[in-house]
Amino acid sequence: MSNIGFLGLGKMGAVMAPRLLEAGHDLTVWSRTEKKSRTLVANGARLAANPAEVSASAEIIVTMLADDAAVMDVFSSPGGLLSSSVGNKLFIDMSTLRPSTVLTLAQQVNSANARFIDAPVSGTVGPAKAGQLLVLCGADEVDFRRAQDILRIFSRRIIHAGPVGCGALLKLVVNLPLAVYWSALAEAVALGKQGGLDLSLILETIQDSPAAPPVLSMKEPIIKGLTEDVAFSIDNMIKDIRSMLETGAELDLPLHTTQSVLELYSAASEHGFGEADAVEVVGYLADSMINSK
């Protein structure tokens, strides 16, 4: 068994980190909010005072943090992961980052004589808790083989997308059509309701057609207003869409549909839906279209 470090105990990290303990690994954790680590510590994890303590004690360090700025801070600030000796350690970042950020991090880690891979995930809290995430990995072959046993603890499948940065790019590619889908579904719902169709009928029929992704049945209760569960918020989706657009600009590729979708999610956030599940954009936009008539 290995000494593993885990940083970031938000919605995803809080259900991923316990799986490492369950698999028998020695675990050191760190979170900006100490109370998030109490259950893990009670179950045998060690709590580090700062990220540097994590990298000093662990041979493999996993980060699952909110955004690019948070990851850069945890790696590079005084008391950060790279402020202690990290020779030959392996860093696995599982956050959703811009590929350019990933490449910057990899350069910093390699300059410290350590190794880095990006391994963002597709899936939300339920699959994370069950170890059924889809892991999208960017790494060279040696580092990929070294990371596989740890990544399997979280995943139903691991895709080796290519060298470092390719996992981050593939994650944006995977998230882009879903962001567009919810906005398109909103217009479909608005069209049907404006013409007198019942919301349940609309959703039931779409789900029995080629127009339904698998996730729609899971999200139907939220669209109907039957639950306020949040797996992935509108503000998180906005963050990812901006990363898509920025990455497109870096690749000299304009993403016109994605730009329009950003405006819709941003409007929903500005009207108080930022912390709601991303699928809430369906009800917000459909109601806005109908009420503007």
- What pLDDT is stored for residue 293 in this prediction? 59
**Residue 110's domain is classified under what CATH number?**
3.40.50.720
Give the length of the chain. 293
Q: Are 66 and 10 in contact (CB under 8 A)?
A: yes
Residues 120 and 236 in one domain: no
Final residue before a domain boundary, out of 113, 139, 163: 163
**Residue 210's domain is classified under what CATH number?**
1.10.1040.10
Residues 109 and 207 in one domain: no
Longest dimension (CA), the chain: 66
- What pLDDT is stored for residue 290 in this prediction? 87
Residues 129 and 262 in one domain: no
Reply yes or no on whether 171 is catalytic: yes
Instruction: List the one residue out of 221, 202, 222, 199 whose CA is nearest residue 212.
Output: 202
Residues 13 and 157 in one domain: yes
pTM of the model as a whole? 0.95
Residues 185 and 73 in one domain: no
Q: Which of 35, 89, 171, 219 is catalytic?
A: 171
Final residue before a domain boundary, out of 145, 163, 181: 163
Final residue before a domain boundary, out of 103, 138, 163: 163
**Half-sphere exposure (CA, 13 Å, Cβ side) for 171?**
31
- What pLDDT is stored for residue 153 in this prediction? 98
Which domain does 182 fall in, by range?
170-291
Q: Which residues contact 25 (CB under 8 A, 6 or more apart)?
A: 1, 2, 3, 4
Number of domains comprising the chain: 2
Mean pLDDT of successive 10-residue stretches along the chain, which has 293 residues = 93 96 97 90 95 96 97 97 96 98 98 98 95 98 98 98 98 97 95 96 97 94 93 95 98 97 96 96 91 74
- What pLDDT is stored for residue 1 in this prediction? 73
